[in-house]
Structure 1
Amino acid sequence: MTPSTTASGSTPLLQVDKVTKNFRGRPALQEVSLAVAAGETLGLVGESGSGKSTLARLALGLLAPDAGTVRFAGQDPYRLRGRTGRSLRARLQFVPQHPRGSLNPALRAGEAVAFALRLHGTPRRERPEAVAALFRQVGLEPGLARRFPRELSGGQLQRVAVARALATGPDLVVCDEPTSALDRTVQARLLDLLTGLQESTGVAYLFISHDLAVVRHLAHRVLVLRRGRVLEEGPAAELWEAPAHPYTRALLEAATGGPATP
């Protein structure tokens, strides 16, 4: 299966076409294709080891595929260098699974966001107010910018990671299991935040998760990955109501605690 068009049929912002990636002779991805349009959320679902994180790194330009192509805004993010590369990467950002590990413990939360603003070219004098505005945008009190990562809760840290990703005004944010370390209540709040940000800014998401229930509440479309291959792809509501593949049904049963519709 090689999905290559978006739900709206518009030109994709991110286009991954028949990508293959091997590590030490073992396939991590095998001819995987996907497309994400501006303002759209594509949910990427699969168990641990399915190739989700490898696909995320390819989409971000951190890895090169062994075969196939990756295009963001029509360009290969892995091969771009210099000013053009920096400009493109500003439009393509990342929210990690464990923000505590991705934030420098010696920097205050606001300093981490300000660093992203500096890379984006925001003048020094404008950064404090820009940091405060970003904190408010993700539902954090600006005063929390003065705290170190160790002084913040998991939910607050994840919001700081979202603020840092938004600092460059991205068109697409890759979210790699951003809710997996959070309890259900905090998960729901983060998903509501991401939905609201998409409505207000038009940002697109490639949202990666092992939990189909989490993805259902955010994604317009869902792609199911197993052992490096695409098993199924379609609108989130349709996959939830009538999954076609047994593996998707198993994921749905795990998410709901009951049998899925055959």
Structure 2
Amino acid sequence: MFSKSSVKIGLVALAVLSSIATTAYAFHSWGNYHWARTSNPFTLKVGDNVSSAWDAYLDEAIADWSASSVLDLTKVTGSTKPRTCKAKAGQIEACSERYGNTGWLGIATIWISGSHITQATTKVNDTYFNTSTYNKPEWRRLVMCQEIAHDFGLDHQDEIFNNANLGSCMDYTNDPDGGAGGAVSNDPSNEHPNAHDFEQIETIYAHLDSTTTIGQTVSGPGKRAGVNGADGQEAADWGKSIRKDGKGRTSLYERDLGKGNKVFTFILWAD
């Protein structure tokens, strides 16, 4: 027979563990990196450098994330060639191209100064999306939704591929549309954001800044990053490995440009 005191202690411990688990599940920002701005909600431009096969999925991702109470995304004409996908200061550039057998489905790259994002790119690799495995709406939705979100500071909720879906495009999975064929027969789709994603965006952008990096011109090391290869297609361009996914592959790289300027690259690998 357990005493009342031991039961009480056990319940308190359980509550603490539950609180920790809930916090870990909900907290998924990319460090403390964010776009500087002086008011909420703010509008961030997304340059369209994707093919017609991707237009609908880019539009969906923009609409999905614009449901946030603090963030609006708006599509504008792209300013770069998809092959090189050069960043433009103050906005996101989204690109699709046959980048070759690089091993990755999608890449998101942010340039930061201190804790502020100054420019960002998303790339999706048609070398893989033109195959029968990945040329499916659910895969295109998942990857575009996820990479665009990295560009404004959101991280993954989970990096295990073969567990039940969380119902978020920020959750790694082998079964983007959920249901039969995945880890469980009744898990949700991972093709769109969920409530935890929007909660995290509100947390990231809860404070205001005294300046803005949105629509601004970047000078110095951050501007030269593209020339130095930090936005390339290969691991040699991305700097040091700082995190691995559930399969032991590097999912996050960091390149230090000096004087508080860095480039972070998130990789979503193909199987």
What TM-score do the two structures reach when normalised by structure 1? 0.25
What's the TM-score once normalised by structure 2's chain length?
A: 0.25
Bigger helix share: 1
Bigger Rg, structure 1 or 2 = 2
Higher-RCO chain (CA-CA 8 Å, sequence separation at least 6): 1
